[in-house]
Amino acid sequence: MSDISNEHDSGRPDRAESDSIPNLEVSGDNHDPDQDDSLIDSPVTAELISRASPAETTSEFPEAMRATGDTDAPMGQTSALFGSQPPSRCSDRWWSPVVMVVISLISFLMMSGFMAAFAIVLVCDDVSLEMLQDPQSMEEAMGEVVRSRLGLFVSLVIPQLALVGPCLFAAVLSPVPFAQRLGLVRGRWPIWSWLAVGAVSPLVGIISGLLLSLVVEESETLKHMNEIFRNHGTNGFFLPLAFMIGVTPAFCEELLFRGYIQQRLTRSFRPWWGIVISSFLFAAFHMDWVHVLAVFPLGLFLGWATWKSGSLLPAMVGHFVNNFVSVIGIVVAPGENQDSLELPAAALSLSVFGFGLIGVATIAWVARRYKGEETEECPTVLEQSSVGQGYDQEELHGN
């Protein structure tokens, strides 16, 4: 190493191997541009640059400059090596989540209408054009649909698949690998910690529900939905119903709102802005205003867990557990009383509080123990080229 270095720096004392990268900033009248070119073309320099991790190549950027996008000064030192502009926030791509929300909502509404009509044909015996044109007859037909197991599955599950379809298609077309684009990676947290996210999610849900019940009453839409779930759950369809309500939204809604939308928003803006906006869109998707207020805190928690862990999978686990426990609470609660502090719902509520507090302590420890650099900016030039060359996620982050 010293022999090669001395070819470009004769007469200087040997330095440690860690300091053997030639200094490209030569000031004064003795600056020779040809020497810079020869240093850049040096095999040693090329090998060190190609083997450097993103953390090493971007460590010279001050945190304040990276946060504001003001990286002109450091880039003067690195443009000779990389030949491109400094990494900055993808503010020009903020519109992609907006477009995706619009497309996904249109897809969901269209498929919901189509599946409602299809379910009526499947379930109802006497279907006619006159019945479809009469609002009262349509209401009665939809009541028969939701009382049917097949009708409930068709009218609830298929539209959710239409909701997530556009973002899956966009992720396939993205130059970033599919799993990385949607956050379907292991992330920084250990797998067992995902269970702690699952334990905390129902706690967030039950606390927000209790606080909301102090100021507003349950909406008629939620009462009707709870009645449907209770009827199915008490008539031998409990476990299939719980898994259907748990798995489908945990897969579809998380991929859209925290996998696709939040991933882009946290790169375009400050991370907390991305979390808040995606959580608001997630809550607004539920359309009933009481339901919107109830699920917004859950969206914030799942968004935070996704950002801190570097993976969408913990949020999927948390969303599934929350919905699964919610269905259990609806089924075991007294018919006209949804007070979670009365039997038999009290036992479930105490279990949620107990496991939830353990989960809070576990997540607090994990977040400190496995703290890493959360993704706030667009991929650097080296990261983008590495993705194109097929490097895996751990190599991109130097883990």
pLDDT digits (tens, 9 = 90+) for 77-118: 333 333 333 344 455 577 888 899 999 999 999 999 999 989
Which among 222, 202, 214, 229 is positioned nearest to 318, based on CA atoms? 202
What is the predicted pLDDT for the residue at 236? Answer: 86
pLDDT in tens, 43-63: 444 444 444 444 444 444 444
Angle between helices 220-233 and 313-332 (to 10 degrees): 80
5-15 CB burial, b ≥16 within 10 A, e <16: beeebeeeeee
The counts of H helices and E strands in the chain are 21, 0
Q: pTM for this structure?
A: 0.71
- With vertex at residue 289, the alpha carbon angle to CA 217 and CA 93, rounded to the nearest 5 degrees, is 155
What mean pLDDT, rounded, does the chain reach? 76
Q: How far apart are CA 196 and CA 343, in angstroms?
A: 26
Residue 187: C-alpha distances to residues 194, 247, 309, 372 (Å): 11, 21, 6, 10
- How far does Cα 74 stand from its chain's mean position? 32
